[in-house]
Amino acid sequence: MVGFAAEQGATLVLLPEYFAVLSADETLKLRHAEPAGDGPLQRFLAELAREHAVTLVGGTIPIVTADPTRVRNACLVYGVDGKQLARYDKLHLFNLNLGAESFCEARTIEPGDKPIALDTPAGRVALSVCYDLRFAELYRRLLPFDILCMPAAFTATTGRAHWEVLLRARAIENQCYVLASAQGGVHPGGRCTYGHSMIVDPWGEVLDVLPEGAGVVIADADPARLAQVRRDLPALANRVLD
């Protein structure tokens, strides 16, 4: 898929959260966790970026911690030369209790400690993961940025209710492009995710969407469009509270 996206002209590519290890079995990520800086998943991502000459935001992978019962949910970014440019560890850990459907990521994931944004050839990119999407203050801390990258695995239940409206809200309030790559379908153990990978422009318009299954969404993150929206409706410049 990375190769296909590159053939279509993509220079910035985003994979979904836990693209290689998503399951209803929460211990799977513990068994596949890698030390920071090396491991088969990290080598795979580095080679993909190098082979296809793209900036690759590698979804997330599990990275070992000092606690053998928990991992970091790490989003790694690689440049066109295959070198790691940045690492963001998911800050907000999913917590849901709907009776028959419940999640508590804190049991197996250690939260990150700081927000991360970086400069890329496509523009300044803010990193976040899945549940982070619900916390608008995170993105205010990261401003200014041009593109928000959001690898995710929203549940089918929460996705139907909230996914698109949250993505569009983050795009509108931060006047940025949102690139959201989402797991979609039924996974080992019966876990169901919502999918609907999409790209949203700074006006909140959905430019492309993939409801479910394997594929890509692609759009032009046009700097001129970004500047126009910020000029026509200068909400960021008009902020009063930090």
Token pair of 128 as six digits: 């976040």
Query: First-to-last CA distance in the chain?
Result: 40
Q: Which residue bears the tokens 């200014």?
A: 144
Q: Residue 153 and residue 208: Cα distance in Å, rounded? A: 18
Q: Residue 179 and residue 163: Cα distance in Å, rounded? A: 13
User: Of the listed 17, 29, 105, 176, which one is catalytic?
Assistant: 17
User: Of the listed 29, 75, 90, 105, which one is catalytic?
Assistant: 90
Strands (DSSP E) along the chain, which ranges? 12-14, 55-57, 61-64, 71-78, 84-89, 95-97, 102-104, 117-120, 123-127, 147-152, 177-182, 184-186, 192-194, 197-200, 206-210
Catalytic annotation on 17? Answer: yes
Q: Residue 224 and residue 25: Cα distance in Å, rounded? A: 45
Q: Residue 16 and residue 73: Cα distance in Å, rounded? A: 12
Catalytic annotation on 83? Answer: no
Of 36, 40, 48, nearest in space to 78 by CA: 48
User: Of the listed 75, 105, 110, 130, which one is catalytic?
Assistant: 130
Catalytic annotation on 114? Answer: no
> Residues with catalytic annotation?
17, 90, 130
